[in-house]
Chains A and B, each alone.
Chain A
Amino acid sequence: MTQGSGTLVAGTDAGAECVKVVVVDSMRRIRGRSVVPTRGYFQDCIQEAMSGALEEAKASAADLQAGWATGFGASCTPVPGPVASETACLARGAFHLFARPLTVVDIGGRAPKVIRVGPDGLAVSSRGVRKCAVGIGTFLMFTARHLDVHPTRLMDLAQGAKPARVGSYCSVLAEVEVIELLRQGVDAGEIALGAMHSVAERVLETGSLEGPVVVTGGVCEYFPGVVEALAARSTAEVEVAPEPILCGALGAALFAMDSLTEART
């Protein structure tokens, strides 16, 4: 394996809804990426995502110089390697993309996070939602299933609708509310938008957002209504990270690359 930009590392973000893997070169550019839904065992999903990312990078597992993992299932990587917290990886990934102090709002399958990142790229604070309010992406997937649309189409359904009122206290209760709204014959678009607003409210219940805000995680990729609701409810400037679902995996890959650089110096 040649040194220089040919050096490859991988970052794995094994989330509750999706496993994300990115392959990064020494110029810290993404060379390969893959997102697979988390179904069945984490080990299998990670393996599948890894193959996908390597394929896009036109490389094989043997070409990887290092691999770091993060996320709910981080401990399940087939080859045990270093694990970093979600906070650290998201802060690292977002700071790499924006290179300024910012607030990362990460909304993924399970537990959303609000992370303040300081001028040096390190996390200053990390807030999470109450235990009852976790399972955000999972809740939106549930809503899509009950509205009988593919998750990517939930947003189309919501276009131009007024949001129905869906509670934000508890994920399970919110799911019951969605079914109740269907029983009452409420318009599917209104329910779709209401579900997305409920998610934004859960995030804002953790405290006000200090700008500039960067949104990451799978939810804003599939359900942009959540970001619109966040922006409407907050005075801060809200923007979506490029390839938002990959931010955590990117952070993990950057840590892996840092570890190689540090080892050499």
Chain B
Amino acid sequence: MHVLVVGAGALGGLIGARLAEAGEDVTLLESNVARARLISESGLYLSEGDKGERKVALRVVCSAEGLPPADLVFVAVKSYQTTDAVRAALPAIAGRTWILSTQNGLGNVEQIARLRGPHRILSGITFHSVQHTGPNRLRYRAGIRPMQMAPVDGVITDEVRAIEALFNAAGLPAQVAPSVDHAVWQKLLHNAVVNPVSALTGMSCSEMLEDGDLQQLMRGLCDEIVAVMRAHGVPVQDEEDPYRPVVASQRALAKNRPTMWQDLARGFRTEIDAINGGVVDEAARLGMKAPLNWALVKLVRSREQERARRRERGERTLAEAKQAAARTPSRPAGSARLHGFAGGRVPLECAPRLKEIIREYYRDLDRAAHDPARRVAWCSGFGPVELVRAMGFVPYFPENHSALIGAGRLSDKFIRLAVADGFSPFASSEMLADIGAMLAGESPLVAVHGISGIPAPRVLVYSTNAGRYVARWFEYYCNRLGAPLLGLHPPPALDDVDDIDVAAAVGQVWRLCERLEPVAGAPLDQDRLAEVVDLSARASALWARVLDLAKRVPSPLTYFDTLIHVAPMLLLRGTAQAVAYYEVLLAELEQRVADKVAAVPGERMRFYWEGPPMWCALRPLAELFLDNQVAVVASSWTRMFAFEGLDRDNPIESLARAGTSLFANRSREFKARLLAAEFLRYGVDAAAWHDARTSPEHSNARSGLHIRLERDAGVRPLVMEGDTHDLRLVSLDQIRRQLGEHLECSRGTAARAGVG
């Protein structure tokens, strides 16, 4: 049988894979190009319960043009995509084609009927639990009940029986019934009561069960839906107490939240219109009212629309920024190259603004250095900058200095000086470059930003959350410069961040406060801290959204862009300038997305960068990937600056939690899970793993994570030996060859899978 599965998501993938395994002629239609390419090239990995994983080769296309007419079209998209998806499948839908929808909510069958007429449509319902465990990996639990399906016209023909047999033969139990109304409404009852309430409150099922007020609301919702069901003539499962089965299903789901919550949290559209909206429409048709369902539809839609409003605000901000720029003609012309590295072939208009705010930061630092009333604190990049700032210090960041030295190709001379001073050439070159510059009494900041020199520290503050070497580095300055050294040592290698770990980190932050107060000459102002944490949270959220835009195909920005534009997250975290900057950057990038501007023109492959930045070779690397039309779209390193959970109402604890939860501070298992999810989110074809010679703590390829991820996520690794700052440890020629060979082998795979 020719089967066309529309949508290669979780359910579509499962159905497609099982039918293909059973020998049916299956094609999947998927509008997401990256997903289609990944599954075509690497296959789909399927696991059931504890049984091992198996790979299923699948044909996935992005257009139905040219496909032979299908015998069966299985619609497996979200309800709001039904019309678009079925329209896309029309070239493969002939008079004899059956269309089966097992989607959530009401109104799907009607949408399909409007496009191809009411005949040969099956309405159905499934109970499978299918989860993505990697970009092309599914784990599923067979449904508690067989899939049920019923022809919309109620006439069970031999052809319908053949479709039933098709699924049963593929090990997907199915039953044909004269009507599935009862089952559809029963599933709807659960979804309409549980999903929107969890989505709006953010609570898990067990949390909702413990909340008396919510249970009242949910019972009210249930009563409304049951009234509509009775009027519609559908039997109710538990006549005595119709809410009882809904309580039971909440208990079963326990700590889980429905996907509507995830969709809303990620800013995606939800299925609210087909679920509660379907109830409201059916009630209206029957001359009834469903005010609670109506209210939930409005509340969820309002949250969905917030995203569109944000985009509008962004466009306004961008227009205003452009006007302001036009009024200041003295500013130098825009340049894609900042600090000596390529930002991509299409320059971001924000770049001059970035240069300006960084220059202003360093000028202010210089003023502070010469003002006896102000105090400079040296701070590690992922350390408690917010606290330092709230206590009135002006922070200075050796890591940014070192990155500048690396990107400016100045590290060679400085590393030699540090080695001559007794350091091993294999100690962190990031540290050696900075220490060497101090030994030489030189700094690129003098030439780049016109400051008089590196300001002397009144205190040194660090956190080891991004690696223990930071403690050694700051200790050296403590011994040499005589400033007090204060550090946070959060519990490392955490899988889950438990309350006990956060409590330990909170204790350390309070002790840091106590010890900082005498240096600051004033006690911590809690209101000021709340304000700084709030600004930091806002900048973090904006930065996360900037990084998320790289999910778009083509990507409007590259990893190399993010290494430049991350600077305010480091230097200006906790200030209004950083927030304002990221609002403008986000607006510009959203405009790029709308205009379909690609950061890498002709983007033909997408890579993830894992490991620390290769600062000393950024520009040639950026050009190398650009020339090969490879968009390096994301990296865990730049993602670390999108601090999560910072909360002005709970500043100390949220700072401690965010600092402890940092990617670099997590277990190998956590990293594997997170990277698998990241690879999927960004739809990458491969991952470039930087094995940095002097940065073992950040080089996850050292513990074989690249092999693990190739197995778990199907993402091919390209391990590049190199270094963060020491150019002598980098062979660009070797990386160029490796990339060329990697692309060649990928093309071979693509050619075999039939996609170009």
- Which residues on A are within 8 Å of B, measured CB to CB? 85-88, 111, 118, 120, 122-126, 128, 130-131
Cβ of A87 and Cβ of B745 under 8 Å apart?
yes
Those of B702-756 within 8 Å (CB) of chain A: 716, 721, 731, 734, 737-738, 740-742, 744-745, 747-749, 751-752
Cβ of B721 and Cβ of A87 under 8 Å apart?
no
Kindly state the separation between the CA atoms of A88 and B737 in the bound complex, as whole angstroms: 12
CB distance from B702 to the nearest CB of A (A): 12
Cβ of A120 and Cβ of B745 under 8 Å apart?
no
Considering only CB atoms, which chain B residue lies closest to A120 in the complex? Answer: B752
Q: Which B residues lie within 8 Å of A111 (CB)? A: 734
Considering only CB atoms, which chain A residue lies closest to B731 in the complex? Answer: A131
Q: Which A residues lie within 8 Å of B751 (CB)? A: 120, 122
Given A118-B752, A130-B721, A131-B721, A123 contacting B734 (CB threshold 8 A): no
Cβ of A124 and Cβ of B749 under 8 Å apart?
yes
Q: Which A residues lie within 8 Å of B742 (CB)? A: 126
Kindly state the separation between the CA atoms of A120 and B752 in the bound complex, as whole angstroms: 8
Cβ of A126 and Cβ of B731 under 8 Å apart?
no
Cβ of B744 and Cβ of A123 under 8 Å apart?
yes
21 intermolecular pairs with C-beta atoms under 8 Å apart: A86-B737, A86-B741, A87-B741, A111-B734, A118-B748, A120-B751, A122-B747, A122-B751, A122-B752, A123-B741, A123-B744, A123-B745, A123-B748, A124-B748, A124-B749, A125-B745, A126-B741, A126-B745, A128-B738, A131-B721, A131-B731
Q: Which B residues lie within 8 Å of A124 (CB)? A: 745, 748-749
Kindly state the separation between the CA atoms of A85 and B737 in the bound complex, as whole angstroms: 8
List the 9 closest A-B pairs by CB distance, nearest first. A122-B748, A87-B741, A126-B741, A131-B721, A123-B745, A85-B740, A125-B745, A85-B741, A123-B748
Kindly state the separation between the CA atoms of A85 and B734 in the bound complex, as whole angstroms: 12
Q: Which A residues lie within 8 Å of B738 (CB)? A: 128
Q: Which single member of A88, A118, A128, A131 contacts B744 (CB below 8 Å)?
A: A88
Kindly state the separation between the CA atoms of A87 and B740 in the bound complex, as whole angstroms: 9
Main secondary structure of the interface of A (DSSP, over half): mixed
Considering only CB atoms, which chain A residue lies closest to B747 in the complex? Answer: A122
Kindly state the separation between the CA atoms of A124 and B42 in the bound complex, as whole angstroms: 12
Q: Which B residues lie within 8 Å of A128 (CB)? A: 738
Kindly state the separation between the CA atoms of A24 and B751 in the bound complex, as whole angstroms: 27
Considering only CB atoms, which chain B residue lies closest to A83 in the complex? Answer: B740
Kindly state the separation between the CA atoms of A124 and B749 in the bound complex, as whole angstroms: 6
Q: Which B residues lie within 8 Å of A131 (CB)? A: 721, 731, 734
Kindly state the separation between the CA atoms of A257 and B593 in the bound complex, as whole angstroms: 44
User: What is the 8 Å Cβ interface bit string for chain B, positions 522-547, against chain A (1 contact, 0 not)?
Assistant: 00000000000000000000000000
CB distance from A173 to the nearest CB of B (A): 15
Q: How many residue pairs between the two chains, A and B, have CB atoms under 8 Å in the bound complex?
A: 38
Kindly state the separation between the CA atoms of A130 and B731 in the bound complex, as whole angstroms: 12
Q: Which B residues lie within 8 Å of A86 (CB)? A: 737, 741
CB distance from A106 to the nearest CB of B (A): 12
Kindly state the separation between the CA atoms of A131 and B751 in the bound complex, as whole angstroms: 31
Kindly state the separation between the CA atoms of A133 and B731 in the bound complex, as whole angstroms: 14
Kindly state the separation between the CA atoms of A131 and B734 in the bound complex, as whole angstroms: 8
Kindly state the separation between the CA atoms of A128 and B734 in the bound complex, as whole angstroms: 10
Kindly state the separation between the CA atoms of A111 and B747 in the bound complex, as whole angstroms: 23
Considering only CB atoms, which chain A residue lies closest to B716 in the complex? Answer: A125
Q: Which A residues lie within 8 Å of B740 (CB)? A: 85
Q: Which A residues lie within 8 Å of B744 (CB)? A: 85, 87-88, 123, 126
Kindly state the separation between the CA atoms of A87 and B748 in the bound complex, as whole angstroms: 12
Considering only CB atoms, which chain A residue lies closest to B748 in the complex? Answer: A122
Q: Which B residues lie within 8 Å of A120 (CB)? A: 748, 751-752
Q: Which A residues lie within 8 Å of B749 (CB)? A: 124
CB distance from B722 to the nearest CB of A (A): 9
CB distance from A172 to the nearest CB of B (A): 14
Q: Which A residues lie within 8 Å of B737 (CB)? A: 85-86
Kindly state the separation between the CA atoms of A60 and B316 in the bound complex, as whole angstroms: 70
Q: Which B residues lie within 8 Å of A123 (CB)? A: 741, 744-745, 748
CB distance from A254 to the nearest CB of B (A): 16
CB distance from A94 to the nearest CB of B (A): 14
Kindly state the separation between the CA atoms of A41 and B525 in the bound complex, as whole angstroms: 70
Kindly state the separation between the CA atoms of A133 and B741 in the bound complex, as whole angstroms: 19
Tell me which of B721, B740, B741, B747 has the highest count of chain A C-beta atoms within 10 A of its own C-beta. Answer: B741
Considering only CB atoms, which chain B residue lies closest to A207 in the complex? Answer: B707
CB distance from A72 to the nearest CB of B (A): 9
Kindly state the separation between the CA atoms of A111 and B721 in the bound complex, as whole angstroms: 14
Q: Which A residues lie within 8 Å of B747 (CB)? A: 122
CB distance from A27 to the nearest CB of B (A): 26
Considering only CB atoms, which chain B residue lies closest to A125 in the complex? Answer: B745
Q: Which A residues lie within 8 Å of B752 (CB)? A: 118, 120, 122
Q: Which B residues lie within 8 Å of A126 (CB)? A: 741-742, 744-745
Kindly state the separation between the CA atoms of A85 and B741 in the bound complex, as whole angstroms: 7
Considering only CB atoms, which chain A residue lies closest to B722 in the complex? Answer: A131
Q: Which A residues lie within 8 Å of B734 (CB)? A: 111, 131
Q: Which A residues lie within 8 Å of B745 (CB)? A: 87, 123-126
Considering only CB atoms, which chain A residue lies closest to B693 in the complex? Answer: A131
CB distance from A34 to the nearest CB of B (A): 25
Kindly state the separation between the CA atoms of A130 and B742 in the bound complex, as whole angstroms: 16
Considering only CB atoms, which chain B residue lies closest to A131 in the complex? Answer: B721
CB distance from B706 to the nearest CB of A (A): 12
Considering only CB atoms, which chain B residue lies closest to A121 in the complex? Answer: B748
Kindly state the separation between the CA atoms of A131 and B692 in the bound complex, as whole angstroms: 12
Considering only CB atoms, which chain B residue lies closest to A116 in the complex? Answer: B745
User: What is the 8 Å Cβ interface bit string for chain B, positions 467-504, against chain A (1 contact, 0 not)?
Assistant: 00000000000000000000000000000000000000
User: What is the 8 Å Cβ interface bit string for chain B, positions 216-257, against chain A (1 contact, 0 not)?
Assistant: 000000000000000000000000000000000000000000
Tell me which of B731, B742, B745, B751 has the highest count of chain A C-beta atoms within 10 A of its own C-beta. Answer: B745
Q: Which A residues lie within 8 Å of B731 (CB)? A: 131
Kindly state the separation between the CA atoms of A24 and B738 in the bound complex, as whole angstroms: 29
Those of B599-616 within 8 Å (CB) of chain A: none
Kindly state the separation between the CA atoms of A85 and B721 in the bound complex, as whole angstroms: 20
CB distance from B364 to the nearest CB of A (A): 43
CB distance from B711 to the nearest CB of A (A): 13
Q: Which A residues lie within 8 Å of B748 (CB)? A: 118, 120, 122-124
Kindly state the separation between the CA atoms of A87 and B745 in the bound complex, as whole angstroms: 9
Kindly state the separation between the CA atoms of A130 and B740 in the bound complex, as whole angstroms: 17
Q: Which A residues lie within 8 Å of B741 (CB)? A: 85-87, 123, 126
Kindly state the separation between the CA atoms of A123 and B751 in the bound complex, as whole angstroms: 11
Kindly state the separation between the CA atoms of A123 and B743 in the bound complex, as whole angstroms: 10
CB distance from B543 to the nearest CB of A (A): 34
Kindly state the separation between the CA atoms of A179 and B446 in the bound complex, as whole angstroms: 50
CB distance from A194 to the nearest CB of B (A): 26
Kindly state the separation between the CA atoms of A130 and B716 in the bound complex, as whole angstroms: 18
Kindly state the separation between the CA atoms of A120 and B747 in the bound complex, as whole angstroms: 13
Kindly state the separation between the CA atoms of A193 and B748 in the bound complex, as whole angstroms: 38
Additional A-B contacts beyond A120-B752, A131-B731 (6; CB < 8 A): A86-B737, A118-B748, A120-B751, A123-B745, A124-B749, A125-B745
CB distance from B532 to the nearest CB of A (A): 45
Considering only CB atoms, which chain A residue lies closest to B751 in the complex? Answer: A122
Those of B172-200 within 8 Å (CB) of chain A: none
CB distance from B273 to the nearest CB of A (A): 46
Q: Which A residues lie within 8 Å of B716 (CB)? A: 125
Kindly state the separation between the CA atoms of A126 and B737 in the bound complex, as whole angstroms: 11
Considering only CB atoms, which chain A residue lies closest to B720 in the complex? Answer: A131
Kindly state the separation between the CA atoms of A88 and B741 in the bound complex, as whole angstroms: 8
CB distance from B570 to the nearest CB of A (A): 31
CB distance from A138 to the nearest CB of B (A): 16
CB distance from B687 to the nearest CB of A (A): 15
Kindly state the separation between the CA atoms of A126 and B740 in the bound complex, as whole angstroms: 11
Q: Which A residues lie within 8 Å of B721 (CB)? A: 130-131
Those of B284-341 within 8 Å (CB) of chain A: none
